[in-house]
């Protein structure tokens, strides 16, 4: 909770909201939040839902029945503005989440959507993206010519481009706000 709170501004600048879910009671949440504040000075800045019977956690596969019938694993869901789950990360109980990777995932999802392409392995902001493969034979031939001319790919099915200016500027603008 502390790490997410400390990074909340980054998420907000990416037009992303944080929400916690726990099978503990609201009273437990208040005690955690208060204890965190007293010991660290950090005020948890996002809501935490009390899922006492674990109904929501079970629907989302957050209860690791082989470990416990009540303890949740540490899941992270990235859900888009249409309510579609775009990414699920599952961390064991004894491993902390890696916030920079979660932020990178949000940035990659937003870039891929804005630029109408895909981000390659190990992509980080401001790197080229993968151009969607052509859908016709003519498109394939055109792509091969473009690759030959620009040296921007390996084959018709794997070529790269810089993200459109509005996608880069949009993400940079969000980060500065």
Point out which residues pair with 153 in neighbouring strands. Answer: 159
> Which pLDDT score is estimated for 68?
58
Considering the domain architecture, whether residues 108 and 152 belong to the same structural domain is answered as yes
Asked whether residue 41 carries a pLDDT value surpassing 80, the answer given is: yes
More confident: 173 or 36: 36
**Cα separations (Å) of 99 from 10, 81, 89?**
10, 20, 11
Claim to verify: residue 12 and residue 91 sit in the same structural domain: yes
> What length is written for the chain?
177
Are 51 and 122 members of one domain? Answer: no
Range of the domain at 113: 103-176
Distance CA 68, CA 8 (A): 30
CATH number at residue 109: 3.30.1020.10
pTM: 0.85
CATH classification at residue 29: 3.40.30.10
Write the burial class of residue 164 (CB in 10 Å: 0-12 exposed, 13-18 middle, 19+ buried). middle
Q: Assess whether 72 and 144 both reside in one domain.
A: no
The per-residue pLDDT for range 134-168, each reduced to its tens digit, is: 999 999 999 999 999 999 999 999 999 999 888 88
Q: Does 57 or 112 have the greater pLDDT score? A: 112
- Residue 5: pLDDT band with limits 50, 70, 90: very high
């Amino acid at each position: 909770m502390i790490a997410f709170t400390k990074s909340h501004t980054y998420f907000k600048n990416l037009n992303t909201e944080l929400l916690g879910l726990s099978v503990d009671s609201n009273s437990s949440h208040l005690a955690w939040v208060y204890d965190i504040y007293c010991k660290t000075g950090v005020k948890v800045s996002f809501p935490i839902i009390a899922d006492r019977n674990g109904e929501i956690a079970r629907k989302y596969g957050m209860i690791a029945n082989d470990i416990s019938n009540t303890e949740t694993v540490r899941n992270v869901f990235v859900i888009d503005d249409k309510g579609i789950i775009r990414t699920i990360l599952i961390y064991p109980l004894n491993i902390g989440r890696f916030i920079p990777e979660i932020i990178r995932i949000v940035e990659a999802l937003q870039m891929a959507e804005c630029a109408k392409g895909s981000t390659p392995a190990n992509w980080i902001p401001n790197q080229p993206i993968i151009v969607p493969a052509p859908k016709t034979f003519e498109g394939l031939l055109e792509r091969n010519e473009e690759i030959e001319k620009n040296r921007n790919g390996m084959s018709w099915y794997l070529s790269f481009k810089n993200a459109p200016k509005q996608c880069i500027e949009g993400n940079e603008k969000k980060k500065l706000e």
